[in-house]
Chains A and B, each alone.
Chain A
Amino acid sequence: MNPYLIGKAWVTALGTGQEAFQAALTGEAGHISVIGSHVWQGKYECFTVPPEAKESGNRHPRMRRSSPISHFAVQAARAALVDAGLDLEAQKSLAVIFAISSGSVVYTRRFYEQITQSGAGQASPLLFPETVYNAPASHLAAQLDAGGISYTLVGDGSVGVTAMRLAADLLDAGDADRVVVVGSEEVDPVLCDAYATWRMATRHRRGKQHEMLLGEGAAAVVMAREAGTEGNKQGPSRFDVIDRGETFLRQSDLPEAADALFGRLQTICPNPCAMVASTWRDPFRKAEVGAMQSHFGSVPVHFPKRSFGETLGASALMQTVFAGYFLEREDSKASVVVSSFGFNQQISGLVLAAPDSAEQTTI
């Protein structure tokens, strides 16, 4: 059973919806901000969601004190459900899966700042609950009154694919009819400095060719077993495979892992019309692009992260939404390979196909 992508939405440094896709397709750079810490005087550039793209007016009590990661996630998820033609008031049985990498780092940093600067006795109980990884998922489930399955997966950039894989398993087993999968991330000076420590991100200067900028935002997809039945909008895309991924323990193992991953994807989709890659920094870029070329030759490759930054846990979902928009403008028999290479030793990928393409295999 190959699940369908029946709804999608995103909140990015390029904005939302189709406009953000068009901008990413042409390589336009998203909104960049300089953020800084008053505690250690560090300054960092990162891609941020522009004010006009943020949803205003969500007055649900749960959102009152929640961190940007929750706001982005809820905005994207609700928009994806609307895109799928679903009633937001009738989602009690909807399964909710989140893909997170750093989580609510803003609140975590603020809480620990209180501990270290003012003492444990001054730490605010209003901040701590928002630091848990599954707080965004909880806020979304509460707003939808979804009382069933809810999982928050945490990992590196490939965690979004893992989350979609989990959704596919639930659908295939009949444990859920529809699943909303959300990837969300927020930026914070401590996160930027952590990546700068490993020379993977830049400290307050324009990104060099092989340095990246972190980004914030969220993307959501609604997956279903069937498309076009009651309650589901006719879905334009189908997941022909969502790979379980590879782990590599040393960087020297990465090319072999990449080769194994793309070999499996090629078996399902020997002639994609395009690929959506995830990396923009060596050695990951070299391994990913090298394996792509080895297996798929000169198929065009898109690097949307150049437009909205490295959004970690949200990145694979953003790449998938990009692929979904891409397929809407292509031949109805086309398919796209999405690969996701994480910095913490995990890689994965999926194939998204237009509805009239020949169904390759059960997922």
Chain B
Amino acid sequence: MNVPQSPPPRKHRVAVTGLGIVSPLGRGTAETRVGLFENPQYCGREVTQFSVSQTRCKSAAVVERRLLSDLLPISKRSRQPHTTSLMMAAAMREALESAGNSPHPELCVIGTTSGGMTNGESFFRSLCEKTGKRLRAHAVANYMPQKPVMDAMEHCGLRMPLQLVANACASGSNAVGMGWNLIRNGSARCVMTGGYDGLSELVFVGFDCLHAATPEICRPFDKDRSGLILGEAAAVLILENMDDAIARGAQIYAELAGYGITTDNHHLTQPHPSGCAVKAAMQQALKATETPPEEVDYINAHGTATPFNDATEGVAISELCRAGVGVSSTKSMIGHTLGAAGAVEAIFSVMSLSENRIPPNLNFRAGDPDWTFEVVTTSRSAPLRSVLSNSLGFGGTNASLHFRKGQAA
């Protein structure tokens, strides 16, 4: 059957018009700016939420609970909200306010890897120990990954369709990318995107038993790196059709210019050492605007500090981008926030563009001599035209986001 070819749909430009974040650096973009550029610090501390007596890794970067206490009660319905609900509510509220509370997003796309995992843990322990029967119903109700987002939506007075992406550590970037696709292709005018994840014992022990977590400090791209530390965070971005944003006089924090997604089928937990899939994701992200790789001025790397990830990403960046391009992994400060990472680092990339500053890669001494990029070790000013933000995840998920300065049509 011959089907008439319809013309390709018009591609729209996408503006970032709202930002909201809660991370180990603090609550809100103002605190985050200080932590990122002015007083960057390694946020890893000894874990106290559960026993780490039998794990190699003892530390994680957590959000201070006192930062979220003003949000209680989060809603009439949710009397004992999970920390992830509070983090999402804080991030969502800030993003909406920074977007001028207008327009109403049509759809919400959020990334996560473990949802309300600590509730699942509580439920399981309660079953095994035959205790806490009354708390089990609460644990079950708050385990599902969409619950923190629903709680946050209710807190902010929103109701809209919700998509949750669980592409492992690339979830946050994938969620932002999916929002970009919806607006670019004309399916939506305004989308709320982001990611969240909270610290949980199961995931902590999981990375530890794989020896992916370090008993020392996190040293992305360092030749003596020994693994990651986990973190927790929530980040929300409001994406809007660029023409609409300009017409209503919105503050445009950056343009989300491109998105690349590839799948690396090499191994469930390890990337192909050639870096081919990562490189392809970055190329795809630049292709939407035909931006030459030489124009990329900064890459916010996935940079988990595991031997395999950094080696692969290092090869990919060296092959694609110009020699001397600035690279840093902000996981050196806040750890790996899993499903939130891509969205958190998207916000860091936007802030870098607007400040013309590159955040540092802490704890770095020396890297692989074959790499051609510069690992930026102290925060510095730099004219930035284009920024790439990379995320790689278990299952071979790769995502890359291309940001450039917000500009009029």
Contact = CB atoms under 8 A, between A and B. Distances in A.
Interface of A: 1, 37, 39-40, 42, 62, 96, 100, 103, 108-109, 111-113, 115-117, 119-125, 128-135, 137-139, 141-142, 145-156, 159, 162, 166, 169-170, 172-175, 190, 193-195, 197-198, 226-229, 234, 244-250, 344-346, 348
Interface string B96-137: 000000000001000011010000110111011010000011
14 contacts: A121-B55, A123-B209, A133-B166, A137-B395, A139-B268, A148-B261, A152-B166, A154-B146, A154-B165, A173-B184, A190-B127, A195-B140, A228-B1, A245-B161
A132 B123 contact: no
Contact of A120 (B143, B205, B395): B205
B265 A141 contact: yes
B1 A134 contact: no
Contacts of B77: 249-250
B187 interface: yes
Interface pairs A-B: 4 shortest CB-CB: A138-B395, A133-B166, A121-B54, A128-B206
B167 A150 contact: yes
A173 B397 contact: no
Interface in B179-200: 181-182, 184-185, 187
A346 B162 CA distance: 8
B145 interface: yes
B268 A166 contact: no
Contacts of B187: 169, 172-173
A336 to B, nearest CB: 22
Contacts of B9: 172-174
- Size range of the chain B interface in the assembly: 35 or more
A190 B168 CA distance: 23
A175 B147 CA distance: 30
Contacts of B366: none
Given A121-B54, A133-B166, A150-B263, 20 more contacts: A103-B166, A108-B202, A120-B208, A129-B210, A132-B168, A132-B395, A141-B263, A142-B265, A149-B261, A149-B263, A153-B166, A154-B145, A162-B163, A169-B185, A173-B181, A198-B140, A226-B1, A229-B3, A246-B161, A346-B162
Contacts of A124: 209
Contact of A150 (B120, B130, B397): B397
B136 A152 contact: no
A40 B127 contact: yes
B262 A148 contact: yes
Given A115-B205, A198-B141, A229-B1, A169 B263 contact: no
Contacts of B207: 128
Contacts of B264: 147
A1 B128 contact: no
A148 B399 CA distance: 11
A237 to B, nearest CB: 14
B269 interface: yes
B51 A120 contact: yes
Contacts of B371: none
B141 A169 contact: no
B144 A247 contact: no
B60 interface: no
A170 B184 CA distance: 12
B244 interface: no
Contact of B115 (A112, A129, A154): A154
Contacts of B280: 147
A134 B206 contact: no
Interface stretch (B152-160, B215-223, B225-233): B152-160
Contacts of A173: 9, 181, 184-185, 187
B406 interface: no
Name the residue among B125, B206, B211 with the largest chain A CB count within 10 angstroms. B206
Contact of A134 (B107, B115, B168, B182): B168
B174 interface: yes
A277 B375 CA distance: 56
A125 B209 contact: yes
Nearest to A200: B140
Nearest to B284: A148
Contacts of A153: 163-166
A156 B146 contact: yes
